[in-house]
Amino acid sequence: MSRWGEWYPPARPIAVKNGIQARSKKGNIGETWWSKRFIAALEHIGIGSRLERGRSYARKGQVISINIRDATVYAQVQGTMPRPYKITISFSRFTDGQWEQIFDALASQALFTAMLLGGEIPQEIETVFTSVKLSLLPASAKDIKTDCDCPDYANPCKHIAAVYYILAEQFDRDPFLIFSLRGRDREAVLENLRTRRSAVVPVETEGETPEPESTAVQEPDGCVLAPLSKCVASFWDAAEPLDTFPIQLYKKPELEAAALKRLGPSLFRINNKDLADLLVPVYSHAREYVLEELMLWESEPKKVPAVNPKPAITHVRKKRV
């Protein structure tokens, strides 16, 4: 509404070619529990009602770029003005001492350690942070500092809100970005967990001095594994017969394309889209194809070969002498 009482329709943002477009076309944005919990955390600290302003921007592909460096998100969003707006979103970083407490607490949980080393974030991981009086996700508005050079006084503005949504979908692909926003990237988290997990205990034999390389690895649950030098001959052997390995063909996976998401973002992009994102649908199509072939095979009547109880009689012509 202008000061003269005239109404003007809201200006449309300038379209972006090859912008970062949200995969979700309707409903909530975010597929995995950790991306949904990130949005829920933003709603909990009182900015959820203003997030809706940026959802259309995220779906239209108005976010031009988004990068995470030193626990800070740097992004560019195209609005109604020719020059894109610059956005920064920074999270409160944990100190080195706090991270040591976090890694010790995580390593004490064998299941959590195994899941993290496998590229997954346990749903109960927040309990570990709570035990050391911290929170992985934002617990209050003080945990996040944002800035956008647009003229909108609201915080978050629709440009910042659009980045939040794209960031949530980035978490779907690489959940370790949540740790990066607190000051430790994927490599640092995994390296610290491996160091604590691989506590080396010498194997002592009565009357013998163990060789330096003869060491056993103690698992977090107390189990001691034999040293590698004693298992070279059987290193590539399966621990159990392969026919006992469970395969759930008809059960939909809890996490789609888990292997791709464990590998993290790809170094390759096609039309400004991450190669890993382009490969995600291949997994579901491959599963559907296999299930169709399996059901077709099961529906076909099995042919039983005829069995002749009497041996075939072979006529042999005698040669005349």
Say if residue 193's pLDDT is above 80: yes
Buried b / exposed e across 200-209, counting CB within 10 Å, b at 16+? Answer: eeeeeeeeee
Say yes or no: 137 and 280 in one domain. Answer: no
Is 69 inside any structural domain?
Answer: yes
Say yes or no: 285 and 175 in one domain. Answer: no
Say yes or no: 184 and 57 in one domain. Answer: yes
List, in order, residues 6 or more apart from 16 with CB less than 8 Å away. Answer: 60, 61, 62, 63, 64, 78
Say if residue 285's pLDDT is above 50: yes
> Which of 300, 280, 238, 319 shows the shortest CA–CA distance to 31?
280
Is 115 inside any structural domain?
Answer: yes
Is 44 inside any structural domain?
Answer: yes
Buried b / exposed e across 266-290, counting CB within 10 Å, b at 16+? Answer: beeeeeeebebbeebeeeeeeeeee
Residue 76 has what pLDDT? 95
Is 41 inside any structural domain?
Answer: yes
Q: Beta strand pairing status for 199-202 and 224-225?
A: unpaired
Buried b / exposed e across 97-133, counting CB within 10 Å, b at 16+? Answer: ebbebbbebbbebeebbbebeebbbbeebbebbeeee
Say yes or no: 84 and 164 in one domain. Answer: yes
Q: Residue 97 — left, alpha, or beta (φ > 0 → left; ψ -120 to 50 → alpha)? A: alpha
Is 281 inside any structural domain?
Answer: yes
Say yes or no: 172 and 285 in one domain. Answer: no
Among 163, 194, 225, residue at a domain's last position: 194
Residue 54 has what pLDDT? 86
Is 84 inside any structural domain?
Answer: yes
What pLDDT, in 10s, does the model give residues 94-136?
Answer: 999 999 999 999 988 888 888 888 778 888 898 999 999 999 9
Cβ-based neighbour number of residue 1 at 10 Å? 7
In order of 33, 144, 311, 317, 319, the CA distances from 314 in angstroms are 73, 91, 9, 10, 15
Which tokens belong to 126?
């927040």
Say yes or no: 283 and 139 in one domain. Answer: no
List, in order, residues 6 or more apart from 249 with CB less than 8 Å away. Answer: 290, 291, 294
Looking at 198-308, list the stretches that DSSP marks H as alpha helix, in order from N- to C-terminal side: 258-263, 275-299
Say yes or no: 188 and 64 in one domain. Answer: yes
d(CA 19, CA 34): 24
Is 10 inside any structural domain?
Answer: no
Q: Beta strand pairing status for 269-270 and 63-69?
A: unpaired
Say yes or no: 272 and 179 in one domain. Answer: no
Say yes or no: 178 and 271 in one domain. Answer: no
Residue 24 has what pLDDT? 80
Say yes or no: 128 and 270 in one domain. Answer: no
What pLDDT, in 10s, does the model give residues 154-189?
Answer: 888 999 999 999 999 888 888 899 899 999 998 899
Among 153, 174, 194, residue at a domain's last position: 194
pTM: 0.61
Say if residue 80's pLDDT is above 50: yes
> Would you say 229 and 213 are in contact if contact means Cβ atoms under 8 Å apart?
yes
Secondary element (H or E) of residue 86: strand 85-91
Question: Collapsing DSSP states into helix, strand and coil, what is residue 232?
Answer: coil
Mean pLDDT estimate for the chain: 77
Parent domain of 284: 266-298
> Judging by beta carbons within 10 Å of its beta carbon (0-12, 13-18, 19+), is residue 164 exposed, middle or buried?
buried
Say yes or no: 51 and 144 in one domain. Answer: yes
The number of domains in the chain is: 2
Least confident of 14-28, 58-72, 257-271, 286-300: 257-271
Say yes or no: 157 and 48 in one domain. Answer: yes
Q: Residue 271 — left, alpha, or beta (φ > 0 → left; ψ -120 to 50 → alpha)? A: left
Is 237 inside any structural domain?
Answer: no
